[in-house]
Amino acid sequence: MLHSGAFITDPLNYYLGRRGEIFLTALCLTATPIGSGFAQSWQGLFAARFVLGIGIGAKNATVPIYSAEMAPARIRGALVMFWQLWVVIGIFLGFCANVIVKDTGNIAWRLQLGSAFIPSFILACGIWFCPESPRWLMKHGKHAQAFQSMNRLRAHPIIAARDYYYSYVLYNEELKLARGSGYFSRLWDCFRVPRIRRANYGASTVMLAQQMCGINIISFYSSTIFTEVGYSNTQALYASLGYGAIQVVFTIPTLFLIDTKGRRTLTLITFPLMCIFLLAAGLSLLKTTGSVASQIGPVVLFVYLFTIMYSLGEGPVAFQYSAEVFPTIQREQGMAWVVCINNTFAGILSLTFPRMSAVMTRTGAFGFYAALNLIAWGMIFCFVRETKQLTLEEIDQVFSVPTKEFLAYETGTWLPYFVKRYILRRKIAKPPPLIAWAAEETDVGNGKSEKEVY
C-alpha cells in the first residue's frame, strides 16, 4: 500500500503540484480513518486501510520535498525536519488516544482508528495558505509565478532573484544529462547518472538505516514489550505514552543541531550509542529475580535512552536528507524510490519481529538489531555526505565528487582530524570541506604544485 502510494507521487505532483498533491492526500487521510472507525467487516476495514496506506505513501514523499524546495539553505534542515517533529507529535497523540479511550469497551478500537482524521483535516485546511514550490513552477515553465513564490519565501527581491536564477541555470544543465522527461527514464537516471546514483546511495542508506536501527520494534510493539516485563495493560499504555513523549521532547533540540552539527555528524554520533542502549535493553530482559520494579526499570530506562538517541539523529535526518539530495528533475522519482525502501523494510520488520522473538527470544532479537546499528553506522560513513547549509544547487557539487575520492577524504583527512581533535584533544586546524579538498586534489593532479593550489 505504502509502496504504490510512493510511486504515484510523480504523476500526482505533475498534474496537481506540490500543494494540490498534499491537499488531495490530506483529504484521503481524513476520510479513511473515519471509514475505518465505521467499518462493519474486515473487508471494509482492509479497504479503508489500503487507501490510507496509498495516501500516506504519497504524502511521505511529497511533504519533505515541498519543504526542502522552499526553505533557505542555512535553516533548511530545521524547517524540513518540522515534518518529523509533527510525525512524532502524531505518534504521541496516538498513544494519548489509546489511553483516553481504554475504558470505552467494544468501541475503543473504533475511536482509536477514527481519531486519526483530526491532524489530516487541519493539514488540508492549512496547505491553501502556503505558496506553491517555486522549483515546481519553474519545471513547468511558469517563471513569473515561480519568481513571485520565491519572493514570498525570501527576505528581499534581490535574494529571491539570485536563488531563482541559480536554480534555473542548474536545472537547464540537468536537462542536458537527462535521458528524457518520461517517468521511467527519470527513474532510471537515479541509477545511471553517477551524480544522482551517489545521492541515491546516500538517501537509500539513511532510509534503510531507519529500519535497521530497530526503532519500529519499539513503536509497533512497545505495549507488548512492557507487558511482558511485568507491567499491567494500563501501565504498559502509560509507558508507551512516555516513549512517545520522549520522541517529541528530544526531537526539538535537533532543530538547532541539524544545521550546525550537520546531518552526517548527528547520525555518526548517535548510532553507536543506539547500539549500546538497545543491546542493554535486551540484556535487561534476562533479569528475572528481585522486585518487579528492579526487573522493569532497566528495560524501560534503556528503551527510553535508545529513543532519545534516535530522536537526536536518525529520526529527523532520514526524510530530511532524502528530500534535498536529488536534483530538481529527478527529485520525485528519487524520493519515491527511497520512501519505498523505507516502507518495505518497515513492513518486513513488523511481520518478522514476532517470529524472531519466538525463535531468538526478545533478548536475541534486540541483540540482532543492535548489531544492525553498527552495520548502519558503517554504511552511513561510506555513503552519506554532509549537506548542511548548502543550497539545493550547491549539493550538486558534493555528489559530483566520485565515491573513491570521497572515501579517501573521509579516511585520510576527516577521520584523522576527528581522532586528533576530539579523542586526543589536540588543537589542530580544521580540514577543508569535501568540495574544496576535491578541487585541490584535482589541481594537484593536473600538475600544479600545492603552493599554486593555495
Question: How far is 76 from 325, CA to CA, in rounded Å?
Answer: 12
pLDDT at 288: 67
Low-confidence ranges of the chain (pLDDT < 70): 1-6, 103, 105, 179-181, 229-230, 288-295, 441-454
User: 378: which 3 cell numbers?
Assistant: 558503517
pLDDT at 454: 27
pLDDT at 402: 92
pLDDT at 49: 83
| Domains of the chain, residue spans | 2-130+178-397, 417-453
Q: How many CA atoms lie within 13 Å of 189's alpha carbon, on the beta-carbon side? A: 25
**pLDDT tens digits, one per residue of 76-108:** 888 888 888 888 888 888 778 777 777 676 777
User: 140: which 3 cell numbers?
Assistant: 513547468
At 164, the amino acid letter reads: Y
Question: How far is 194 from 401, CA to CA, in rounded Å?
Answer: 9
Question: How far is 387 from 261, CA to CA, in rounded Å?
Answer: 11
pLDDT at 221: 74
pLDDT at 21: 92
pLDDT at 370: 93
- Do the beta carbons of residue 79 and residue 67 sit within 8 Å? yes
pLDDT at 295: 67
Task: Find the angle CA(202)-CA(207)-CA(213) to the nearest 5 degrees.
Answer: 115
User: 120: which 3 cell numbers?
Assistant: 489530516
- Do the beta carbons of residue 373 and residue 271 sit within 8 Å? yes
Third-level CATH fold of 2-130+178-397: Growth Hormone; Chain: A; (1.20.1250)
CB proximity list for 53: less than 8 A, separation 6 or greater: 1, 2, 5
Residue 389 exposed, middle or buried by CB count within 10 Å (0-12, 13-18, 19+): middle
pLDDT at 361: 85
pLDDT at 376: 95
CB proximity list for 32: less than 8 A, separation 6 or greater: 48, 49, 51, 52, 55
- Do the beta carbons of residue 240 and residue 223 sit within 8 Å? yes
The 3-class SS string of the chain reads CHHHHHHCHHHHHHHHHHHHHHHHHHHHHHHHHHHHHCCCCHHHHHHHHHHHHHHHHHHHHHHHHHHHHHCCHHHHHHHHCHHHHHHHHHHHHHHHHHHHCCCCHHHHHHHHHHCCHHHHHHHHHHHHHCCCCHHHHHHCCCHHHHHHHHHHHCCCHHHHHHHHHHHHHHHHHHHHHCCCCCHHHHHHHHHHCHHHHHHHHHHHHHHHHHHHCCHHHHHHHHHHHHHHCCCCHHHHHHHHHHHHHHHHHHHCCHHHHCCCCCHHHHHHHHHHHHHHHHHHHHHHCCCCCCCHHHHHHHHHHHHHHHHHHHHHCHHHHHHHHHHHHCCHHHHHHHHHHHHHHHHHHHHHHHHHHHHHHHHHHHHHHHHHHHHHHHHHHHHHHHHCCCCCCCCCCCHHHHCCCCHHHHHHHHHHHHHHHHHHHHHCCCCCCCCCCHHHHHHHHHHHHCCCCHHHHC
User: What sign results for the dihedral spanned by CA atoms 325, 331, 334, 340?
Assistant: positive
